[in-house]
Amino acid sequence: MTKGHVRLADLAKAAGVSQGTASNVFSRPELVREEVRERVLEVARELGYNGPDMKGRLLRAGRVNALGVAAIEPLAYFFEDPWARAVMTNIAGVCDATGTGIALVSAQNQQKLAWNINSALVDGFILLCVEGGEKLVELTRRRQLPFIALAFDDGDASIPTIGIDNTAGAAAAARHLVELGHRQFAILAIGHSDDHVGAVTPEQAIRSLKSTSRDRALGYWQALSEFGIERENVPVHGTRNDKSSVDAALETLFATPEPPTAILAMSDRIALFAMQWLAENGFAVPGDVSVVGFDGVPEAATAQPGLTTIAQPLEEIARRAVRAILDDALPCAQETLGVTLVIRGSTARPRS
Amino acid sequence: MTKGHVRLADLAKAAGVSQGTASNVFSRPELVREEVRERVLEVARELGYNGPDMKGRLLRAGRVNALGVAAIEPLAYFFEDPWARAVMTNIAGVCDATGTGIALVSAQNQQKLAWNINSALVDGFILLCVEGGEKLVELTRRRQLPFIALAFDDGDASIPTIGIDNTAGAAAAARHLVELGHRQFAILAIGHSDDHVGAVTPEQAIRSLKSTSRDRALGYWQALSEFGIERENVPVHGTRNDKSSVDAALETLFATPEPPTAILAMSDRIALFAMQWLAENGFAVPGDVSVVGFDGVPEAATAQPGLTTIAQPLEEIARRAVRAILDDALPCAQETLGVTLVIRGSTARPRS
DNA sequence: ATGAAGATTTGAACCGATTCAAAATCTATC
DNA sequence: GATAGATTTTGAATCGGTTCAAATCTTCAT
């Protein structure tokens, strides 16, 4: 029954028209006389031909109408990591509107990632650079397709990037707490280049933090110093953005004679882990301790209590990124967008 | 700087070999003498040629090494819906292992979906049929690529499907509660063909529920009747799988003289909304009311308290589905997998 | 030196469409 | 009825590779 394979040429012959006309019936129907068009479609139906095959079309046309989103992580990252999910959700929204497809590109080891990036059938890439951004950019660059990096952690201004104002965001977070009356702070950091865990001095932090995290640290310090709180008096603990390292940091912090009344977390993930630890250890949030996160992931809104955080303009980021790829209108310079402080239930005045 | 475009033919000429040899250098290097291979690669580097372009390769070779996952929903569905996310996470895991890419295919209106399905560059499809399964299958069928339907709601045995034993799962959930001593039940349903919201009689439920939901209802009733509780005494409320319709159902239920002490929810999503409503309205879970969900999404494990639920073997489902597509070894018959009762903190004996 | 077997390389066909200049056909105008 | 102009249709080139039978080159025993 199945005729092996019906291709456009077969259809054309069967319908008694040239291949060119047959092609137009599908791709530019307005060019072909209605009568002919209907006949060809009729024959197509009989033959079980369902429109031109993408592989051929694409070869000729050059565009796939899909964009790739890449990260150096297992594929499941896109569905499990809160930030990645939030970004993807917004990208998905923009793609829906423009009818663009999404291909997920990733791998743990570089060998495979290189292959995957090279073989992905897409018109361009959005790079999630939270981990291994440099490698990712390097591999993608080779492909010679438009790409844009998100959360990229490197000064190289030749790389098209959409970022956020980390310093201003962090400053806003710290200012919010200090204005509520807090004076005892602690910072939970991520992004030590050596995955350092535990207390660090400000100098160590400046030296070993990746630029995103360093900017956030600088923002915290800056706002606090405006109120006379010097960085030397604000303990900083490195974490690996996972529960166990956050737990360890908090155990140390709350074993000191003057534990913090306010916690500045460099990610919502960390902040949520912190709130969990506090709840488990009998500290009320925000009664005993206030917590501020960073990123503005959806989970922050649904937590109990809601997490006060610095929200990234993800929708705007997604819109610009997708547009940049599809229109091949990459920003000549790196773009930096503003962030907003979202106040929820996890922050309040300190117990007097 | 950019030489317009370097293609395999250019490289071949520049390196002084035939195009066939140049091709082999990349696709089947073992066929070409090392000396030649290195020279060609060297020239490739000079010319900035980064391996064969996928579009051409694919046209000839026929395989894309990617699979499409499709649903009649906006693209964001894959990242937001708990069940979809759980399924995707598992599919991603399998794909990671086999080096397969994932393309997301979806659209709200059928017109666009048809186009997207036809133009997706994939070797086959996994269909998430929670909504509009029939249409999805019909459109995919036309594409004449291997596909397999998940959560498909139709008897048509000619369609390759991996499903679960809904009746047995529901029965296990009900049995668990009844064995704890509960006697006052309520069922929160989804999947009314007309999106009905509010109380329904068993007859109405049987008539208007889609098959997945009907099977679950039958399972509940069957287990309860073994303990002498007749279906007429178990109120059933339709919901739209969203918070507002769940809230409405619970308000009605708990306004009755004999409110339920145990809730059977047809999805974890509903169950979690229910727990939220109960908390907001001063009912302790499981102290005052026990709740059982269905599906076994990750959120069920992290909720406070943990949600007792019927877990689908998602890993197994994902593994079989991906294998089926990649090996083009579709199950000749529809497969049905077993489910397991996972007991967590949301169920306990009723207050005596 | 000769010839068979094995290793490399070549060349041309092919994958399945789109595209566009040129040819063919139809319409309108005088 | 002839002709310019508009509308359709055709045919061949092209996109960027892969593949495979045939041609060429090596190697080595005879």
Angle between helices A166-180 and A211-226 (to 10 degrees): 30
Residue A31 DSSP code: G
Chain A residues with CB-CB distance to B269 below 8 A: none
Residue B61 approaches strand D within 7 Å at CB = yes
CB contact under 8 A, A54 and B119: yes
pLDDT in tens, chain A (352 residues): 344 688 999 999 999 999 999 999 998 889 999 999 999 999 999 988 888 888 888 888 777 889 999 999 999 999 999 999 999 999 999 999 888 899 999 987 887 888 889 888 899 999 999 888 899 999 998 888 899 999 998 778 889 999 999 999 999 999 999 999 999 999 999 988 888 888 999 999 999 899 999 999 999 999 999 999 999 999 999 999 889 999 999 999 999 999 999 999 999 999 999 999 999 999 999 999 999 999 999 999 988 899 999 999 999 999 999 999 988 777 777 899 999 999 999 999 998 7
Give CA–CA dist B146/B159, Å, rounded. Answer: 11
Say yes or no: A227 contacts chain B, CB-CB below 8 A: no
User: Which B residues in the span 290-349 are in contact with A, Cβ-Cβ below 8 Å?
Assistant: 304
Q: How far is the CA of B304 from the C1' of D24 (A)?
A: 76
Q: Please report, for chain B, the start and end positions of each structural domain, with discontinuous segments joined by +.
A: 8-61, 66-159, 166-313
Pick the closest to residue A208 from A191, A230, A187, A183 (CA basis): A191
Residue B26 approaches strand D within 7 Å at CB = yes
| CATH number attached to the domain at B8-61 | 1.10.260.40
Q: How far is the CA of B33 from the C1' of C1 (A)?
A: 28
Question: Which residue type sits at A340?
Answer: T
Q: How far is the CA of B13 from the C1' of D29 (A)?
A: 38
Give CA–CA dist B109/A97, Å, rounded. Answer: 12
Angle between helices A54-61 and B54-61 (to 10 degrees): 150
pLDDT of residue A4: 64
Give CA–CA dist B30/B10, Å, rounded. Answer: 22
For nucleotide C26, give the residue with the nearest CA to its C1': A33
Under the banding of pLDDT at 50, 70 and 90, the label for residue B4 is: low
Under the banding of pLDDT at 50, 70 and 90, the label for residue B1 is: very low
Q: Express each pLDDT in B49-86 by its tens digit.
A: 888 888 888 888 777 888 999 999 999 999 999 999 99
Chain B residues with CB-CB distance to A76 below 8 A: 88-89, 92-93, 96
Question: Which residue type sits at B328?
Answer: D
Alpha helix segments (H runs only) across A120-165: 133-143
CATH C-level class of A166-313: alpha beta
Q: Is 3.20.20.190 the CATH classification of the domain at A66-159?
A: no
Domains B66-159 and B166-313 fall in the same CATH topology: yes
Give CA–CA dist B221/B186, Å, rounded. Answer: 11
CB contact under 8 A, B112 and A93: no
Residue B3 approaches strand D within 7 Å at CB = no
Q: Express each pLDDT in B139-171 by its tens digit.
A: 998 888 899 999 998 778 889 999 999 999 999
